[in-house]
């Protein structure tokens, strides 16, 4: 059991006896009856801490556009209680939750809604969703994007043609219910890892400033320009970069209730990243959903040696530079010209909000010569990873994203900026704007 969960357990035990440890109250008194038996991870503190204020309900973008969705409080504390009392099954509406985590971010009582929802979704998929159903097969393919991307990147040009070939998309919609309205992202002709090995790995050696890069799937197979920008930027600041073997962060697997798949990937990631941390490196990620998985979701859901070490030493790449370098000072003397000298409409991903990182790009770029940046508000983009890639959820995803599209169009600039690759996809899809990552703009500011 992780430290956090041990602490929760200790806290729970204290609270069951009005703030005094049961062992010290009255040795004669029999143990309290265990009304709700614990699972592998105890979710009871989440249920006990909810005081039904409904803040989470008002922050849920799915509940805002779908009146039949029972909302985060039901999916978390209420369902947990109901289920333990009457041994009922998980309500199928858990599949309608997009895993945006806005409820988790907003709860004033610190209820761990993300952990409760992920656990319920995993249980629903394991026990109630037929593995022969189209929904299960489609969701498993979407959740295991790394597998499809690896295959596609062996023949990237062919894959790029086939995946957006209309008859193929028509068949995918009819058979797998993948909406034909969306454009498949392009696969890079050379993956980031191929590029990394071709350039001979790290160009800077510095045992005092080492970072291990968790690139995730998308920056490796699709937006390799983001990963390369990150490498050049960090080398400019004198960091030695390590690129350990790694698998998917698991984010799309959590969102689809495929917890066994996520665990297999997490085991590899924890083993390899904890080893480099032991040797003195910190871990950085360029995707805010990946950093969130490594630092929050892993210790909430799995018990793997080294998991707490990884959680404590993982950072978003921009966050890390802001902590360890005088980035704001350096920005004052820098300027951007050319492709990235733009007015950006910036969207903070929900998963960056969950880590308290939603203002960092705005704070940084407002002082950068040659760049204008405007925050397009705190609404959800609506795509939530694989959520908007399901036919039955496509309309909902676009309704959720409508506020962001509107604000982007009202902004001065016509180029988008965000840290999340799937939010970027949705921004492009809803407005037609090109979308960039903050690391690309920083590279343009500092690296020749």
**Smallest distance from ligand SF4 to CB 81, Å:** 12
392 binds ligand SF4 per the rule CB under 6 A? no
* DSSP-derived secondary structure for 87-99: -PPPPGGGGG---
386 binds ligand SF4 per the rule CB under 6 A? no
Q: 317-324 vs 224-236: helix axis angle to the nearest 10?
A: 10
- Choices 12-20, 36-44, 106-114, 140-148; region in contact with ligand SF4 by CB under 6 A: 106-114
102 binds ligand SF4 per the rule CB under 6 A? yes
109 binds ligand SF4 per the rule CB under 6 A? yes
390 binds ligand SF4 per the rule CB under 6 A? no
**Residues binding ligand SF4: what is the number (CB under 6 A)?**
27
**Smallest distance from ligand SF4 to CB 127, Å:** 20
- Choices 98-106, 222-230, 231-239, 403-411; region in contact with ligand SF4 by CB under 6 A: 98-106
Strands (E), 157-216: 210-214
Which CB, 56 or 266, lies closer to ligand SF4?
A: 56
**Smallest distance from ligand SF4 to CB 129, Å:** 18
Q: Rounded to an integer, what distance in angstroms lies between the CA atom of residue 217 and that of residue 149?
A: 8
Complete edge-to-edge strand list for the sheet that includes strand 434-436? 372-375, 343-346, 415-417, 434-436
Distance of CA 418 to the CA centre of its chain: 13
163 burial level (CB within 10 Å; 0-12, 13-18, 19+): middle
**Smallest distance from ligand SF4 to CB 53, Å:** 4
**Smallest distance from ligand SF4 to CB 109, Å:** 4
Residues 45-64 as x/- pattern, contact with ligand SF4 by CB under 6 A: -----xxxxxxx--xx-x--
Which CB, 59 or 220, lies closer to ligand SF4?
A: 59
Which CB, 54 or 337, lies closer to ligand SF4?
A: 54
Near ligand SF4 by CB under 6 A: residue from 43, 47, 90, 111 = 111
**Smallest distance from ligand SF4 to CB 384, Å:** 7
Residue entry with tokens 């006896």? 17
- Choices 73-81, 171-179, 207-215, 219-227; region in contact with ligand SF4 by CB under 6 A: 73-81
Q: If you count them, how many residues does the chain have?
A: 448
400 binds ligand SF4 per the rule CB under 6 A? no
Q: Rounded to an integer, what distance in angstroms lies between the CA atom of residue 379 and that of residue 362?
A: 16
Which CB, 113 or 311, lies closer to ligand SF4?
A: 113
**Residues 147 and 221 sit within 8 Å (Cβ to Cβ):** no
Other residues' Cβ atoms within 10 Å of the Cβ of residue 218: 26
List all residues 6 or more positions away from 367 whose beta carbon is below 8 Å from its beta carbon: 328, 331, 332
* DSSP-derived secondary structure for 260-294: HHHHHHHHHHHHHHHHHHHTT-EEEESSHHHHHII
142 binds ligand SF4 per the rule CB under 6 A? no
353 binds ligand SF4 per the rule CB under 6 A? no
- Choices 72-80, 282-290, 303-311, 402-410; region in contact with ligand SF4 by CB under 6 A: 72-80
Strands 240-242 and 434-436: what pairing? unpaired
Question: 37-51 burial, b for 16+ CB within 10 Å, e for fewer?
Answer: eeeebbbbbbbbbbe
92 binds ligand SF4 per the rule CB under 6 A? no
301 binds ligand SF4 per the rule CB under 6 A? no
Structure token pair of residue 142: 């979407």
**Residues 330 and 365 sit within 8 Å (Cβ to Cβ):** no
**Chain residues in the site for ligand SF4 (CB under 6 A):** 50-56, 59-60, 62, 72-73, 75-77, 97-103, 107, 109, 111, 113, 117
């Amino acid at each position: 059991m992780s430290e956090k969960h041990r602490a929760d357990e200790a806290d729970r035990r204290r609270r069951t006896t009005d703030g005094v440890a049961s062992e010290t109250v009255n040795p004669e008194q029999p143990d309290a009856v265990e009304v709700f038996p614990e699972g592998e991870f105890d979710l009871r503190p989440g249920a006990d801490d909810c005081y039904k204020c409904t803040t989470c309900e008002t922050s849920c973008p799915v509940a805002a556009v779908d009146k039949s969705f029972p909302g985060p409080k039901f999916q978390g504390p209420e369902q947990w209680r109901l289920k333990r009392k009457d041994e009922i099954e998980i309500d199928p509406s858990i599949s309608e939750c997009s895993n945006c985590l806005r409820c988790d971010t907003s709860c004033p009582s610190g209820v761990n809604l993300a952990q409760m929802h992920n656990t319920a979704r995993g249980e629903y998929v394991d026990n109630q969703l037929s593995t022969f159903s189209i929904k299960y097969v489609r969701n498993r393919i979407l959740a295991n994007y790394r597998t499809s991307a690896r295959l596609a990147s062996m023949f990237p040009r062919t894959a790029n043609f086939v995946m957006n070939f209309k008859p193929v998309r028509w068949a995918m919609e009819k058979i797998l219910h993948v909406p034909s309205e969306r454009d498949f992202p392009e696969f890079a002709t050379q993956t980031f890892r191929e590029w990394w090995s071709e350039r001979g790995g790290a160009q800077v050696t510095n045992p005092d400033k080492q970072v291990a890069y968790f690139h995730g799937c998308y920056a490796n197979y699709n937006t390799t320009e983001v990963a390369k920008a990150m490498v050049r930027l960090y080398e400019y600041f004198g960091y030695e970069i390590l690129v350990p073997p790694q698998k998917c962060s698991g984010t799309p697997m959590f969102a689809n209730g495929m917890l066994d798949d996520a665990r297999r990937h997490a085991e590899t990631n924890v083993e390899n990243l904890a080893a480099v941390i032991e040797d003195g490196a910190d871990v950085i990620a360029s995707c805010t959903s990946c950093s969130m998985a490594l630092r929050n979701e892993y210790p909430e859901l799995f018990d793997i040696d080294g998991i707490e070490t990884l959680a404590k030493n993982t950072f978003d790449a921009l966050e890390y530079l802001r902590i360890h370098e005088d980035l704001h000072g350096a920005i004052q003397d820098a300027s951007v010209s050319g492709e990235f000298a733009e007015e950006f409409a910036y969207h903070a991903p929900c998963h960056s909000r969950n880590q308290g990182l939603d203002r960092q790009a705005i704070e940084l770029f407002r002082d950068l010569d040659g760049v204008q940046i405007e925050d397009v508000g705190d609404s959800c983009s609506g795509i939530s990873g694989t959520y908007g890639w399901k036919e039955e959820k496509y309309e909902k995803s676009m309704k959720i994203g409508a506020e962001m599209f509107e604000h982007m169009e009202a902004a001065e600039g016509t180029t988008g900026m965000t840290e999340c690759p799937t939010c970027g996809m949705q921004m492009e899809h809803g407005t037609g704007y090109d979308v960039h990552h903050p690391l690309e703009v920083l590279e343009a500011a500092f690296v020749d």
